[in-house]
Amino acid sequence: MICYIDAFSGLAGDMLVAALADAGADRDAITCALQSLATEGAFTWEPVKRRGMAAAKFRVTVTETPKHRHLSGILKMIAAADLPEAVKAASGRVFQALGEAEAYAHGVSIEKVHFHEVGAVDSICDIVGICMGLHLLGVDKIYCSPINVGSGTVNTEHGVLPVPAPATARLLQGKPIYSRGPALELTTPTGAAIVAALADGFGAMPAMTIQSIGYGAGDHDFREHANIVRVMIGEATTAPESTTVAVIEANIDDSSPQIVAWTTEKLMEAGALDALVISAQMKKNRPGVILQVIAAPEKREELIALIFRETTTLGVRFHLAERRVQQREWVEVATPHGMVRMKTAPDSFAPEYEDARKLAIATGLPLKHILTETVREYLKTR
């Protein structure tokens, strides 16, 4: 079961709790789970509209001033609550990620971090409520769209800070983000911590059959767009999958072929989905190449740094693109000379080159013979 989070208006804890409940998570069960935390908070659910769009609103009301807490104290609260073990574990991962981000932002050890805004009762309840909602919906994997973080500044206990706030920025490092809409904080540390700790991927919606949709509202009702987060719950399918990738390119006309070849190898080792070299006629009639790299968006900065380090280029360009791929499986094929893996899709198949190469070296046979025999043996099983 998949949960896809559409964070076009940012992401905050209360918005996501409400969206999961709106998608079908039992509100009474979430409320009971939060009451077991013994925070003395009161919880309300209400239907609202944002720019005419119907959504759910979740509120936590606290009668006393929230205390500053350490991570160890929060984890003890969660451990003592009447929650499923999976919910306790997920909530703990989120707070661990949040604690590490706060520790980095303040330059202290995680043990010394005082949770201020994020340690308040409403944030604790938001995180546990989200994890409980995901558990109730039977979600196995979480994917998130590129995240709108907002812009401008935010008032904190440390004074006025730029958006995204330091902890939020740290949590979303390597994730696809952008800024659009009013000059406000649209993604909070709590919202960022949820996806940083629990999301399996970022980008376009994965191939899925949607079973339910939920909308959770933020506090503001903007003129520019509906201030809501949308979640879509459904089952994974074998339909061709559309994913968002980063395409990175660099024009190179003053590096040796050895350097370019070395760089493509290092890029693939670092996690690029593909790296290719395109011959080109550069300015001043110099023959050169275009180094093109396709990668997951969160790998972009790491791979750009590698290109700068390993080549002579002084600049790169990049953009996001949509990639459509078919569902693929690996099948082991027994040949007279050994085992070769076959990559299969609904309409195609191909022997794994490295497996065939190893057998060709070991047997002394031509590579084309190994590939042909692998295909022949595979077709016998179809």
pLDDT digits (tens, 9 = 90+) for 68-126: 777 888 899 999 999 999 999 999 999 999 989 988 887 888 877 766 544 578 889 99
What pLDDT does 222 receive?
A: 92
What pLDDT does 65 receive?
A: 59
Q: Rounded to whole angstroms, how far apart are CA atoms 111 and 93?
A: 15
Cα angle for residues 165, 171, 177 (degrees, 5° grid): 75
Q: Rounded to whole angstroms, how far apart are CA atoms 374 and 153?
A: 61
Higher pLDDT, 106 or 67: 106
Using a pLDDT cut of 90, give the percent of the chain over it. 68
Measured distance between the N- and C-terminal CA atoms of the chain, rounded to whole angstroms: 30
- Least trusted range by pLDDT, from 92-106, 186-200, 215-229, 353-367: 92-106
Instruction: Categorize the per-residue pLDDT at 217 as very low, low, confident or very high, splitting at 50, 70 and 90.
Output: very high
- Report helix, strand and coil shares of the chain as percent, to nearest 5: 40, 35, 30
Q: What are the distances in angstroms from CA 336 to CA 277, 300, 363, 374?
A: 36, 43, 11, 9
What pLDDT does 288 receive?
A: 94
Higher pLDDT, 325 or 173: 173
Task: Answer whether 351's CB lies under 8 Å from 340's CB.
Answer: yes
Q: Which helix (H) or strand (E) holds 267?
A: helix 257-269
Q: Which of 177, 104, 139 is nearest to 20 (CA)?
A: 139
What pLDDT does 117 receive?
A: 47
Q: What is the mean pLDDT of residues 179-194?
A: 93
Q: Rounded to whole angstroms, how far apart are CA atoms 53 and 33?
A: 29
Does the pLDDT of residue 175 top 60, yes or no? Answer: yes
Ordered structural domains, the chain, with CATH: 2-239 (no CATH), 242-324 (3.30.70.1380), 329-380 (no CATH)
Q: What is the mean pLDDT of residues 183-193?
A: 94
Task: Answer whether 229's CB lies under 8 Å from 21's CB.
Answer: no
Q: What is the mean pLDDT of residues 118-147?
A: 90
To 10 degrees, the CA torsion angle through 333, 339, 341, 346? 0
Q: Rounded to whole angstroms, how far apart are CA atoms 213 and 273?
A: 31
Average pLDDT taken over every residue of the chain: 90
